[in-house]
Amino acid sequence: MCLVGYSLGSVSVDQVAFLQAVPASVLVEVSAGRVDLNLLAREELANRGYDQNGVWVGFRVAADLLASESAQSRVGSREPTVQGGG
């Protein structure tokens, strides 16, 4: 995997290697901004009971934090869309 000019921060290249298995059609939608991977990651963290910083807060608190964050981010911005079905 070649990541020219891109910093992964504290994440290793091996940890993002899963992207190689993502269908090109999904990558196209993501790169065009039609799928918000940041939102999907926050939703997945909440589904696992974690806050946005990866701290275990429990399922209910994580869901409440996500709902609060989502309500704030909708003010003045458009909702991300996920197109296609699989």
7-21 pLDDT tens trace: 778 888 888 899 999
Band the pLDDT of 81: cuts 50, 70, 90.
low
Judge contact between 43 and 50, C-beta under 8 A: no
Judge contact between 37 and 16, C-beta under 8 A: no
pLDDT of residue 1: 58
Specify the residue for token string 């964050």.
69
Q: Whose CA is closest to 51, among 64, 35, 36, 38?
A: 64
What does the pLDDT average to over 65-84? Answer: 72
pLDDT of residue 73: 77
H helix or E strand, kind and range, residue 65: helix 59-74
What does the pLDDT average to over 49-56? Answer: 96
What does the pLDDT average to over 29-58? Answer: 96
